[in-house]
Amino acid sequence: MENSHPQDLAALVYNKLKINKLIASLPDIKVLEDLFDCLFYASMCKEESDLIKVTITFIDPKNPDPNPPAYIVPERWSFIAFDKPVAMTTKALAKLSKAADPSSSTLAVYYGDDNKLYVWGMIDQAMHYQNFLNYESDTDSEQPGLFQVSISDIGTLHVLFDYELLATLKQNVLVKRYPDVLTIGPISKILKKNADFLKIAIKDYLIAKHPLEPYTEWEDFLDNLWIQTFSRMLIKIQDYQHGGAILIADNSVDLDVKYRIHYERLTLAMIAHAKAAIDNYIYESEIQNNFKSGRRSVSKHSYIGELQSNYQKKGTNDEIKGAISFISSQSCVDGVVLFNRNMVANGFGGVLRAKKMPGKIYISQTATANSKSLTPHDPKHYGTRHRSMIAYCWNHPTALGLVISQDGDIRVFTRVEDKLIMWENIKTQQYLTNKSQRKMQV
């Protein structure tokens, strides 16, 4: 939605709160309008020459934890109240933002009887929330307050309810839809096809090491591992705020690569991690079945196997993380980062040489890119980096291209039959709409 304002975001949040039957007291729409106005203008301020990046939690100080779980995990959030609340202004937010790194904490905000907003404290342990969103952790404990709002850039606000990304206001554009192209539709099919090497390796491993374990039980796990690893790399590139491009292609035709490499560690680490995860699951199942059958002891083989596989699982996950960081940093060099179908990095600083452009490109509003969701656009309206990727993907129908802007926007390109299709505002983080969607993590 173009030509949107903070008031439009406030209306969206107000309507979301109205349908929540668990909310005892609904804030006035004017309170929410003042909140988003203040945050929007704070995003344009600087503090000690730095742009403001901060997250606020809208939470009642009189009842901050109304429904605590039966079991409190050690890393669960807690609130720390100020001696005196601080009136919420752009200046106050700018000052407090230096003490509230969004990766570790949020500011607790609410309103008084006079409907005036104030900052009354801070919430800790935010790193676990961020790690879950970025596929770095499988911990997904509940979030405090009614909702959270993050300032990530100038004029850019993200509103989250628990683990659901409700909407993003980017300057004057209100985004409410985030195509999940990495798990559904043509892009997902390409990526899952590229994971065949992983599936073949694991199928052979199961036959050799665990012949009674059915491969079909692990196929979704392998798809998730592949997609989540790719998502983690995109998120890492976004964090650099440099902009970059990724090309997955069969060969180097129409492509000059300045720095050629052959880096397959990410590929091998995913295979090793999948093997360790399978071993760990099987040994844990053996131990559990022993206890269920009434035995009061565990075999030495199962115990050592569970211990070693768990250690290996953690180690290979760290290896994947390191390989992702190694590759992602290469995106800071102008040009594309080149991958083959097996996620082997073959170089960076690549220049795309294809010249022939399609007359039109089609922007898809859905991950599946059905005909009703396509809107034609003139490719000449885009910058050099986008046009070169459009031309390459048009001339090489099996190629998959991604362009990451400095502001973090990701656009994905591929040719589907006779159309060059582009997706934007794609879902990369682990946003969920309800707890039933929280599947087993890798």
Within-domain flag for 265: yes
Amino acid type, 28? D
Among 137, 153, 176, the domain boundary falls at 176
- Are 386 and 173 contacting, i.e. CB atoms less than 8 angstroms apart? no
Within 88-164, where are the H helices?
90-97, 126-133
Question: Where are the extended beta strands (E) located within 88-187?
Answer: 106-111, 117-123, 147-153, 156-161, 164-170, 173-175
Quote the CA–CA distance of 207 and 213 in Å, as a whole number: 8
Round to whole Å and give the CA distance between 405 and 386. 10
- CATH code where residue 20 lies: 3.40.1700
Same domain, 223 and 163: no
- pTM score, two decimals? 0.89
Angstrom distance (rounded) from CA 49 to CA 249: 41
**The two three-digit tokens of residue 32, written as one number:** 């929410």
Claim to verify: residue 211 and residue 346 sit in the same structural domain: yes
Out of 176, 204, 229, a domain closes at 176
* Long-range CB pairs of 379-382, under 8 A, 24+ apart, other chains included: 379/420
The verdict on residue 434 lying in a domain is no
124 backbone dihedrals φ, ψ, rounded to 5°: -100, -175
pLDDT in tens, the chain (442 residues): 678 999 999 999 999 999 887 777 899 999 999 999 999 999 999 888 888 999 999 999 999 998 888 888 889 999 999 999 999 999 999 999 999 999 899 999 999 999 999 999 999 999 888 888 888 887 777 889 999 999 999 999 999 998 889 999 999 999 998 999 999 999 999 999 999 999 999 999 999 999 999 999 999 999 999 999 999 999 999 999 899 999 999 888 999 999 999 999 999 999 999 999 999 999 999 898 887 777 777 888 889 999 999 999 999 999 999 999 999 999 999 999 999 999 899 999 999 999 999 999 999 999 999 989 999 999 999 999 999 999 999 999 999 999 999 888 899 999 999 999 999 999 998 887 654 344 334 4
Q: Are 427 and 182 in contact (CB under 8 A)?
A: yes
Q: Where a domain ends, among 146, 176, 206?
A: 176
Residues 130 and 193 placed together within one structural domain of the fold: no
Domain annotation covers residue 438: no
Q: Are residues 52 and 25 in the same domain?
A: yes
Q: Same structural domain for residues 210 and 352?
A: yes
Residues pairing with 104 in the sheet: none
- Shared domain for 82 and 212, answered yes or no, is no
Q: Is residue 433 part of a domain?
A: no
Give the count of alpha carbons within 13 A of 142, CB side only.
14
Q: Is 166 inside any structural domain?
A: yes
Are 212 and 338 within one domain? yes
- Tell me: do 153 and 118 sit in the same domain: yes
Of 109, 103, 96, residue with least CA distance to 124: 103
Sheet holding 106-111, edge to edge: 79-87, 117-123, 106-111, 54-58, 147-153, 156-161, 164-170, 173-175
Domain-embedded: residue 442: no
CATH number at residue 407: 3.40.1700.10
Which amino acid type is present at position 262? H
Q: Is residue 315 part of a domain?
A: yes
Query: Buried b / exposed e across 319-342, counting CB within 10 Å, b at 16+?
Result: bbbebbeebbbbbeeebbbbbbbe
The total of structural domains in the chain comes to 2
- Verify that 298 and 391 share a domain, yes or no: yes
- For residue 2, give both structure tokens: 């173009």
CA distance 433 to 431: 7
Q: How far is CA 207 from CA 37, 203, 213, 278, 408, in A?
A: 60, 6, 8, 12, 43
Does residue 37 sit in the same domain as residue 152? yes
Phi/psi of residue 345, nearest 5 degrees: -75, 125
Q: Which residues contact 390 (CB under 8 A, 6 or more apart)?
A: 357, 358, 361, 379, 382, 413, 420, 422
CB 408 within 8 A of CB 235: no
Are 244 and 108 found together in one domain?
Answer: no
Closest to 239 (Cα-Cα) out of 336, 121, 153, 119: 153
DSSP3 helix / strand / coil % (the chain, rounded to 5)? 40, 25, 35
SS3 225: helix
Question: Which structural domain, as residue segments, surrounds residue 350?
Answer: 186-424
Whether residue 337 is found in the same domain as residue 393: yes
